[in-house]
Every structure is written in C-alpha cells, then in structure tokens.
A and B are shown apart, each in its own frame.
Chain A
Amino acid sequence: MWDFPLLPEAASSTAAEVDALFWLLIGVAAFFGGIITAGLVYFNIRYRKNSKASRAGAVSEHLPLELLWSIVPLVISAGIFGWGAKLYFDMHVPPEHAREVYVVAKQWMWKIQHPQGNREINELHVPVGVPIKLVMTSQDVIHSFFVPAFRVKQDVLPGRYTTTWFEATKPGEYHLFCAEYCGTSHASMKGRVVVMKQEEFERWLAGSRLAEPMTASGDQLFRQFGCVTCHSQTSQERGPSLHGLFGSTVRLADGSTVTADERYIRESILNPGGALVAGYKPLMPTYAQQMSQEQLFQIIEYIKSLGGPQIAGERKNP
C-alpha cells in the first residue's frame, strides 16, 4: 500500500527542464518559507511576554530593510519569469519536421487520426524520439489534452484549432487525461498514450490501418463536396488553386495578409466570406453544416499534400 509515487514520471524532451524549473521553485519556496518560519519561531521564543531579553532600541521603520525584501524577491521573480517564459515559448513552437496527429475531442472521448489513416479512440500510439504535433479541436464543449508524464497540457476548444507538441523519450504507457471540466463523465474521459520504439511503431501502423491515408480520404471528399470544380489547377476563374497554398502568405480582399495554416483553411471552408482571397468574388457557400471535424482534418491533410510555398513561386501571385 505504501508503494505509491511521489514524483511523476518524466518521459518527454521538455519534462526534465520543467522539472528543473519546478525544483528551483521548491528551493526558492523553501528559502523564503524557511526565513519566515525561523523568524516566527525565534522571535516568539526570545520575545515571549516574560522573557528577560532586552527590548531596547526597537524600531518600527527601516527603509533599507523594506527595500531589501521588496527588491530581492523582485529580482528572483524576474529570473524565474524569464526561464518559465522561454520554456513556455519552446513548448508552443513545434519543430519543423514534427509528425502530425489530429485530435477531435467530444463528450467524453478522444478521437485520434493519424495521417497514414490509422484511427484510435482514447489511445494515442506514437514513436519514441520523434516530435509529435497535435492539431486539436472539440465537437462540443471545452476539453483539455493532458499527459502528466510529458508535462503537456492544452485546452481543446470548439470552433477553433489549438496545437501542442511533445517528443516522447521513453517507451511505455502513460495517462492521458481531460483536464478541463466537460460535464458528467469528465472523470472518465481518459486514455493512454503508448510510446513505442520506431520499428514497433511502424509495425503497429501497418497492422492496425483500417482506413486509407487521410490524404486519400481528403482527395475523395474534395471531389465529393465539389470543391474540385472551382479549386482545380486548371479552372481558376472562380476560386484560387490550392496547389502550393499551405504555409504560403495569402493576400485577402480587404488588403490584409494571412498565413495559410490549418486555422485559415478551416475558417475558409466554414466561413468563406470572412477571409476572401483578393481578386475573387464571394461565391463559395459555407460547409459548416455538412462536414464533420474529422472530414475537415482530412481535407486539410489533402490540401497540405498539394505542396507548400516552395512551388508557390511558380504560380502567379494574385
């Protein structure tokens, strides 16, 4: 019964640094807590009512002391803030070559799609030593993707995409929790992250693939919903070609520019009038009622497969 952990497992590339910062904070807390406790205990004993200790020269104002215990905590705080902010920034920006996984949360489960076509529920299989970028959205209320062993947490919101990333460093199974209260079975909205060695993971990918790759499903949806009639490479009168779109900079009708990332593509499909590309008429209807979150991810994956801005230089900029 006494065999229980006091420290969480550290199984991601950032976990060690978060822990180091945590222990620094423990040190700072122990230092200041120690000073206060020592002061309270010492003064209480030495200056108890009937003690004979001298009370001569008691002061109630001491500017240097006040400044000392204002400025020292301030300086220490500034240092902790800087480290925390830098690490936070790193935890927000995924490495370029990260492997992407798509997550849809709903009451009360995690639905996961791998670009290769594998789908999982409440389980996420990832290879060790590879950065994984999660693109997440919710179908209903706010959830939060939380893997304690990775020190990773990100709210998952309806109506928009949020992203986070991690790189697992140790094979094993880890808790996946929903950390934002989401209704009745919130406490049951948990699963596991399975970290596997690279070759095992490849075997798993090949063995558990039930659907075609997301690009293929996306390609099919692209034709099924009729996107192809306006957004093909050949007919560009009504809508821009999507080749080389992903990651490029798009100029909009109102003169502003925007980077074509997952959020932009999602917004363009659901609310086409809101981000009209310069030089085109607002002809496109909304697909908000017709596509599921999973299908949206498949189309985005397909559009990504059409290439990035490297070849954008070849097409004429509108």
Chain B
Amino acid sequence: MKTVNEDALQKNYITAAYGIRSWLLTRDHKRIALLYLISITLFFFVGGFFAVLMRLELMTPQGDLVSAETYNRLFTMHGIAMIFFFLVPSIPAVLGNFLLPMMLGARDLAFPRLNLLSWYLYMVGGAYTLYAMVTGGIDTGWTFYTPYSTGYSTTNVVPVVVGIFILGFSSILTGLNFIVTTHKMRAPGLTWFRLPLFVWSQYATSVIILLATPVLAITLALLGVERIFQVGIFDPALGGDPILFQHMFWFYSHPAVYIMVLPSMGVVSELVTCFARRRIFGYKFMAAAVMAIAVLGFLVWGHHMFVSGQSVYAGMAFSALSFFVAIPSAVKVFNWTATLHKGRIEFRTPVLYAFGFIGLFTIGGLTGLFLATLAVNVHLTDTYFVVAHFHYIMVGGAVMGYLGGIHYWWPKMTGRMYHEGWAKFSALILFVGFNLTFFPQFILGYLGMPRRYYIYPEEFQVLNVLSTAGASILGLGYIIPMIYLLWSLRKPRTAGPNPWNATGLEWLTPSPPPTHNFDKTPIVTEGPYAYEEKSANGE
C-alpha cells in the first residue's frame, strides 16, 4: 500500500494552514467539527463535575456536603450544560459536520460561512451561560417551570435564558445547513435510498431542530419578558397560565430528546453493518422509522404533563401517541439485531459501543412504555424512575453512540489509531458503571423517591450509595478515553484511508482528508453497506 506514504506527504485539512487565525476563521466543515469537538467536551466535563458533586451529596440522607441552595443549582446547571451544550450539538455538530459532506461526496456543506457562524453563536451562548453559572448560577431546574422561574427564583435566570436563546440559533443554522446539503449536494448516483442511515438520521434530526428550536426560543423570550417586566404571561398571580408554559416548553423539549438520540441511531447503523460485514436488515424500514420518529415526536409532548392538571382526555390522546412513537424505535432495535444474523462479526472497539447502545437503549425505551402508561405514570413521574429512564436514553443511548462514532471515525479525523486494548477496557467499564449508577434509580423511583431532593428518607440510602459507587466507575470510563485518544495524537499518521475496510464515501478519502475532501467527485453506483460484495471480492 503506497497510498499511506503519499497521504502523509499530501496536505490534509489539518496541515493545510497553520496558526490560530487559520482555525478561528476557517470555513472547512472538518475544522469546524474539531472546534465543536473541543468546545462540547469542555461542557461535558463541566456538566459531569456538577453530577459528581450531586452523587457525592446523595451518599447520605442528610445534607452534609452541599446546602439546598447549592444542590438546586447543581442539578439545574448539570441539566443545562449536558442537554443544551453537550447532547444537542454532540453528534450533529461534531460527527455530522465532519462526515455529512464526505458521505454525500461533497466538498463542503452548502453554507460554510453559516457553519462557522453557528460555532461562534455556540461559543457566545456558552460563554454567556458559563458566566451566569459562575456569578451565582441558576436554580430553576433545566425545565424553567413558571411561576417559580419568573416570580420566585432569585438566581441568574435571565442571563441563562439569553445564553440558551443564542445557542438555539446555532442549532438552527446547523440543521438548516444539513437539510440543504442533503437535498442539493449529493454526488451523482447517490439517490435518497442509497444514503447511509447516518445521513438519514442527521436529516431527520435537522428537521426537528428546524421546527422545534424556534418554539423554545420564543418560549424563553416570553419567560424573559415576564421576569424582567413582571407582567403576567405565565404567572397566574398576574393573569397568565403556567400550564401554557409547560405546553410550549415541552413542544420543543420532547422532540429535543429525539434530536439527542436519532443521530446515535444513525451511528449505530454504520457500526453494526461494518463490523458484522452485513448489509443493514430492512434498510427502507430503518430510514422510514427515523422519519416516523421525527414526525411522531412532535405529537407527544403532553406526556410530560399527565399529573399537571391538563384534561383527562388530553392525557389519553398523548398517551396513545406515545405508544405509537415506541413502534419505530422497536423496529430499529429488531433490525439491528437481525443484521447480525449470518454476519462475520469482529469485536472491535466501535461495535462494542454499538452493542452497549442497543442494550441500554432497549432498557430506556421499554421503561418509556411504563411512563407512557397513564395510571403507572401518575406514580412514577417526577421520581427517580424518570431520572433513570432518560439517562438510559440520553447517556446509555446518545452518549454511547457518540463515543462509538468517535472511536469509529477517529482514524479518519486524525489519521491515527488509538490503543485498542484500553479502548475495549473503557467500553466495558462504561457499560458496567452506567448500569450500576442508573439501574438502582429505577427501584428508587418505584419506591417513591422524588427527583431533585438533596435529602431523603433513610430507607433510600443503600440504593443511593450503590448509584454513587457506579458513578465513580462511570466517571473513570469517561476519563480513560480522553487519555488514550489524546495519547494517540503523538503517534505517526499511519491509520490509512480505510482501517476498518468499510463502505461509504468518507473512506475513499485519505486520512486525514484534504481540505476539499475529494480530488474528483465520486460517482455512486450501488446502495450503502455492500459488505457482502466486498467480502466476495476477497477484501
């Protein structure tokens, strides 16, 4: 293979230009992806730090480590940092930015300048929010329920809301860019039903971002107006309706769950096919399922409000629709499993993450059925059962998928391979640590421990200690990859263009790719995941 040496000599997107200006003013989607990678990793550890303090406090039933005021800030800021500044941008802004144009055979996204602007908006919103957190913090919960947030909290509500408002436009610009790029910049022969499922998932995610984020923006704007001018939009004491706020908030925030998890589903489809050397089972069902989730996801927001006082009949409608949205998710899980049938499965690091995703997402999804069931929801909502459920979806699902994707495309992004042994070890650690942290919380929730409590009755202590113990293992599982991934940057760029022998246009480029991705626009003649054909050719 002579190509490796030639690649090393050729200028790639990292060596194309040097100096801080060349990064801060770049319009290259791959460089912007790296800028995002660094920024969201920062926020991940900020949010993780808050989580560690919370878990430590919860080791005992009394409030001995932090005060109520501090604890309330911790869970609020943990939620805000993790959801808005890590999970929502994670896969789209890093992996999507890097890979979408390459998977489509394009030289860049449709609007590179908007792409850079989106990163700057992220940074401005993030810096503003961090500033608000450092100078007093915020204690409303990430849900900002009125009238507490507008009339009673004495913390930095307005600055944080402004920060998230700005951040919203960053999301919107990314989504807009992806939609236009997918529609207009596919390589010749790359028809819709030849797109990799990763692209489908990014597309579906972008649709949600485009249609849901503006509603969050206006909701937060109204909240800001109410708080600044003390006029009643949502505060009943001034003539408003707090339930309306919940409707508007969840109209964004339920679809936001799918913004976080759909991209991971796309990643898992890539990983499972590559390491099973199989075409995906039921490609069209998989693509349709992603779009179905995106659409149905807009119709179920009321299931967060079964005990809020909304009408019984509204509750029934939202419950029924919530069961509907479970079906396409179930189809996806079955199809991933079926893809393994008669494959040639190779246990490399990325696919371990993918299996972790499937297992944890299945538990998260199935416990979602509990919460969609009206009478059971009454008991479980606002308890630790809910906390466990959404962490199984968002951490067990979204973060596992994200890390799987990072491990899969790391050689493409950097040209280097990481230490496989450490990587497998940390995938295992993560899986064990995660379950130990969050499984006890299902039981705690069923027992009736409410969320957002910094002190609790003594009979809940054992399970809380277990959970904290798990969190310490989980934390280790996040630090180890940081170390060996950074360490790999010291090695020479020897990964080669296609270390996994995978299909997909992104693997036709050198690793790392040149700024313009492709010397010649590729022409596509077959569907994705043609692994059986590859094997037949002896590759």
Contact B341 A47 (CB under 8 A): yes
**Known A25-B373, A80-B323, A141-B148: A88·B315 in contact at CB below 8 Å:** yes
The CA-CA distance from A37 to B366 in the complex, in Å, is 13
Contact B323 A77 (CB under 8 A): yes
Cβ-closest chain A residue relative to B239 = A159
**Known A6-B443, A18-B379, A43-B340: A80·B369 in contact at CB below 8 Å:** yes
Cβ-closest chain B residue relative to A72 = B330
Which A31-59 residues sit within 8 Å CB-CB of chain B?
32-33, 36-37, 39-40, 43-44, 47-49, 53-55, 57-59
Contact partner, A153, options B69, B346, B379, Cβ 8 Å: B379
CB distance from A271 to the nearest CB of B (A): 9
Contact partner, B141, options A6, A40, A181, Cβ 8 Å: A181
The CA-CA distance from A140 to B151 in the complex, in Å, is 9
Q: Cβ of A8 < 8 Å from any Cβ of B?
A: yes
Contact B366 A184 (CB under 8 A): no
Q: Cβ of A268 < 8 Å from any Cβ of B?
A: no
Q: Cβ of B95 < 8 Å from any Cβ of A?
A: no
Q: Which residues of A contact B148 (CB under 8 A)?
A: 141-142, 181-183
Contact partner, B382, options A69, A151, A153, A157, Cβ 8 Å: A153
**Known A4-B463, A70-B327, A88-B378: A187·B145 in contact at CB below 8 Å:** no
Contact A33 B366 (CB under 8 A): yes
Total number of A-B contacts with CB less than 8 angstroms?
Answer: 268
Contact A158 B237 (CB under 8 A): yes
Contact B139 A184 (CB under 8 A): yes
The CA-CA distance from A185 to B68 in the complex, in Å, is 6
Q: Cβ of A207 < 8 Å from any Cβ of B?
A: no
Q: Cβ of A123 < 8 Å from any Cβ of B?
A: no
Q: Which residues of A contact B1 (CB under 8 A)?
A: none
Q: Cβ of B26 < 8 Å from any Cβ of A?
A: no
Q: Cβ of B242 < 8 Å from any Cβ of A?
A: yes
The CA-CA distance from A47 to B374 in the complex, in Å, is 42
Q: Which residues of B contact A40 (CB under 8 A)?
A: 337, 340, 355, 358-359
The CA-CA distance from A6 to B446 in the complex, in Å, is 8
Contact B375 A18 (CB under 8 A): yes
Q: Which residues of A contact B312 (CB under 8 A)?
A: 88-89, 92
Contact B447 A7 (CB under 8 A): yes
Which B452-501 residues sit within 8 Å CB-CB of chain A?
452-457, 459-463
Contact A84 B382 (CB under 8 A): no
Which A145-204 residues sit within 8 Å CB-CB of chain B?
146, 148-149, 151-155, 157-160, 162, 175, 177-188
B-contacting 9-mer, from A60-68, A210-218, A233-241, A251-259: A60-68
Residue-by-residue, is A210-246 near B (CB-CB < 8 Å gives 1, otherwise 0)?
0000000000000000000000000000000000000
Contact B382 A36 (CB under 8 A): no
Contact A84 B373 (CB under 8 A): yes
Q: Which residues of A contact B248 (CB under 8 A)?
A: none
The CA-CA distance from A53 to B330 in the complex, in Å, is 28
Q: Which residues of A contact B63 (CB under 8 A)?
A: 187
Interface size class of B (residues with CB under 8 A): 35 or more
Which B45-73 residues sit within 8 Å CB-CB of chain A?
63, 68-69, 71-72
Contact B337 A58 (CB under 8 A): no
Chain A CB count within 10 A is highest, among B280, B359, B379, B447, for B379
Cβ-closest chain A residue relative to B311 = A92
CB distance from A37 to the nearest CB of B (A): 7
**Known A25-B369, A49-B346: A159·B237 in contact at CB below 8 Å:** yes
Q: Cβ of A5 < 8 Å from any Cβ of B?
A: yes
Main DSSP-derived SS at the B contact region: helix
Contact B307 A155 (CB under 8 A): yes
Contact B242 A142 (CB under 8 A): yes
Contact B455 A188 (CB under 8 A): yes
Cβ-closest chain B residue relative to A79 = B323
The CA-CA distance from A27 to B105 in the complex, in Å, is 47
Cβ-closest chain A residue relative to B280 = A60
**Known A22-B376, A47-B276: A177·B344 in contact at CB below 8 Å:** no
Contact B337 A179 (CB under 8 A): no
Q: Which residues of B contact A29 (CB under 8 A)?
A: 363, 366-367, 369-370
Contact B450 A32 (CB under 8 A): no
Contact B344 A49 (CB under 8 A): yes
Contact A148 B236 (CB under 8 A): no
Which A286-316 residues sit within 8 Å CB-CB of chain B?
none
Q: Cβ of B19 < 8 Å from any Cβ of A?
A: no
Q: Cβ of A78 < 8 Å from any Cβ of B?
A: yes
Chain B CB count within 10 A is highest, among A77, A160, A175, for A77
Contact partner, A107, options B152, B281, B378, B451, Cβ 8 Å: B152
Contact B337 A157 (CB under 8 A): no
The CA-CA distance from A56 to B225 in the complex, in Å, is 66
Contact B342 A47 (CB under 8 A): yes
Q: Cβ of A81 < 8 Å from any Cβ of B?
A: yes
Q: Cβ of B35 < 8 Å from any Cβ of A?
A: no
Cβ-closest chain A residue relative to B285 = A66
Q: Cβ of B283 < 8 Å from any Cβ of A?
A: yes
Contact B340 A22 (CB under 8 A): no
Contact B340 A44 (CB under 8 A): yes
Contact B378 A69 (CB under 8 A): no
Q: Cβ of B153 < 8 Å from any Cβ of A?
A: yes
Contact partner, A184, options B68, B343, B359, B367, Cβ 8 Å: B68
Contact A69 B331 (CB under 8 A): yes
Cβ-closest chain A residue relative to B373 = A84
Q: Cβ of A282 < 8 Å from any Cβ of B?
A: no
Q: Cβ of A144 < 8 Å from any Cβ of B?
A: yes
Residue-by-residue, is A1-28 near B (CB-CB < 8 Å gives 1, otherwise 0)?
1101111100000100110011001001
Q: Which residues of A contact B379 (CB under 8 A)?
A: 18, 22, 148, 151-153
Contact B453 A187 (CB under 8 A): yes
Q: Cβ of B243 < 8 Å from any Cβ of A?
A: yes
Q: Cβ of A74 < 8 Å from any Cβ of B?
A: yes
Cβ-closest chain A residue relative to B140 = A181
**Known A4-B459, A4-B463, A88-B375: A180·B382 in contact at CB below 8 Å:** yes
The CA-CA distance from A2 to B466 in the complex, in Å, is 12
- Interface pairs (20), CB distance under 8 Å: A5-B447, A29-B370, A36-B333, A47-B344, A47-B345, A58-B532, A65-B282, A65-B338, A77-B323, A84-B319, A142-B147, A153-B307, A153-B379, A157-B236, A157-B308, A181-B72, A181-B451, A187-B71, A187-B452, A187-B455
16 additional contacts, CB 8 Å, given A40-B355, A49-B345, A158-B237?
A: A4-B463, A43-B345, A44-B347, A47-B342, A55-B342, A70-B330, A80-B323, A84-B376, A85-B319, A88-B319, A107-B152, A152-B379, A157-B242, A183-B72, A184-B72, A185-B68
Q: Which 9 A-B pairs give the minimum distances between C-beta atoms?
A: A148-B448, A159-B236, A88-B374, A87-B375, A84-B373, A43-B340, A58-B342, A77-B323, A29-B366
Q: Give residues in B with beta carbon < 8 Å to A.
A: 63, 68-69, 71-72, 139, 141, 145, 147-148, 151-153, 236-237, 242-243, 276, 278-283, 285, 306-309, 312, 315-316, 319-320, 323-324, 326-327, 330-331, 333-335, 337-347, 355, 358-359, 362-363, 366-367, 369-370, 372-379, 381-383, 443, 446-448, 450-457, 459-463, 532
